[in-house]
């Protein structure tokens, strides 16, 4: 984990404005939409170098979750396990391409759930001499109808963060746009993902993550109908593979009560 001297800088005005606007949007009136919980992750400054390939295995389980479907035919998270391999390849020029293939184990049966492609762009990086890191991840998804009511979806995830000595802070404002019925021509959906962690050993960090999912901009509804999920996390960056794992608690009526998650990172070359 990269260590930097304590900051003596001011973020550029545009970055400050983005952070402030994103924070305000977190409290904007909203309405929830069911989404496939294939990936629970805060994006930071990790990106593959040109020609480098990697595999991440995303696994999460819901021992105690919501049992009432939000639309007819929905498979809820309760008692389910999601397993999603993600292949990533560094393209150079601060670009990385990724491919997800998601599966859900529900009622002792594995089901194909979704295919997603993404492109991560990270032009501002501390390892290149910048004072902080910032970028954007664009994603397109084809999801089976029992997991999301809109089959085709897009997402723009902004990435902003910094290392402070042993500390890492990363913040992801996310704007999602359903591309198929019944959500075509509606307002975009907004969510956030936040990580704060501290290195306690050379290869080990502990921290917290918080996810606020998924809010439709401009639609009045109360806090309890939004999805609010916090995690206690452990991050290990060593041999033979790196991984992170956490235990999550829901903080609203529309959030699963207990969620377990882990991500295993495997370099391929």
Contact 114, 146 (CB under 8 A): no
DSSP string, 71-90: STT---STT-EEEEEEEEEE
Q: Has residue 1 been placed in a domain?
A: no
pLDDT value of position 32: 52
Instruction: Look at the chain and report how many structural domains it folds into.
Output: 1
Q: Has residue 47 been placed in a domain?
A: yes
Q: Is the peptide bond before 62 cis (omega within 30 degrees of 0)?
A: no
Interval 54-77 mean pLDDT: 95
3-state DSSP assignment of residue 156: strand
Q: Has residue 62 been placed in a domain?
A: yes
89-114 residue pLDDT tens: 999 999 999 999 999 998 888 999 99
Q: Has residue 7 been placed in a domain?
A: no
Q: Has residue 5 been placed in a domain?
A: no
Q: Which two tokens stand for residue 85?
A: 């391999």
Of the CA atoms within 13 Å of residue 77, those in its CB half-sphere come to 25
Q: Has residue 211 been placed in a domain?
A: yes
Q: pTM for the whole thing?
A: 0.86
Which residues span the domain enclosing 195? Answer: 13-267
Q: Has residue 247 been placed in a domain?
A: yes
pLDDT confidence tier of residue 66, bands split at 50, 70 and 90: very high
Give the H or E element holding residue 247.
strand 242-250
Q: Has residue 98 been placed in a domain?
A: yes
- At 189, which CATH number? 2.40.160.40
């Amino acid at each position: 984990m990269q260590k930097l001297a304590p900051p003596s800088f001011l973020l550029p005005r545009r970055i400050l404005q983005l952070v402030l606007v994103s924070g305000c949007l977190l409290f904007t009136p909203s309405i929830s939409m069911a989404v496939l919980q294939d990936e629970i992750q805060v994006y930071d400054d990790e990106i593959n170098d040109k020609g480098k390939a990697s595999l991440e295995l995303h696994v999460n389980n819901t021992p105690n979750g919501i049992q009432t479907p939000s639309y007819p035919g929905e498979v809820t998270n309760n008692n389910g396990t999601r397993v999603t391999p993600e292949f990533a390849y560094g393209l150079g020029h601060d670009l990385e391409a990724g491919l997800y293939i998601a599966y859900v184990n529900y009622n002792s049966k594995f089901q194909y759930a979704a295919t997603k492609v993404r492109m991560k762009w990270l032009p501002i990086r501390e390892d290149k001499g910048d004072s902080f890191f910032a970028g954007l991840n664009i994603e397109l998804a084809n999801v089976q109808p029992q997991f999301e009511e809109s089959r085709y979806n897009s997402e723009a995830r902004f990435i902003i963060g910094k290392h402070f000595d042993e500390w890492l802070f990363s913040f992801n404002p996310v704007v999602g746009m359903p591309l198929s019925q019944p959500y075509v021509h509606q307002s975009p959906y907004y969510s956030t993902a936040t990580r704060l962690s501290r290195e306690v050993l050379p290869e080990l960090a502990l921290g917290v993550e918080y996810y606020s999912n998924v809010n439709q901009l401009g639609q009045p509804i109360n806090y309890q109908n939004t999805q609010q999920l916090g995690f206690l996390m452990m991050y290990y960056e060593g041999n033979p593979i790196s991984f992170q794992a956490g235990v999550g608690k829901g903080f609203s009526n529309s959030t699963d009560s207990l969620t377990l998650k882990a991500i295993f990172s495997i370099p391929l070359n």
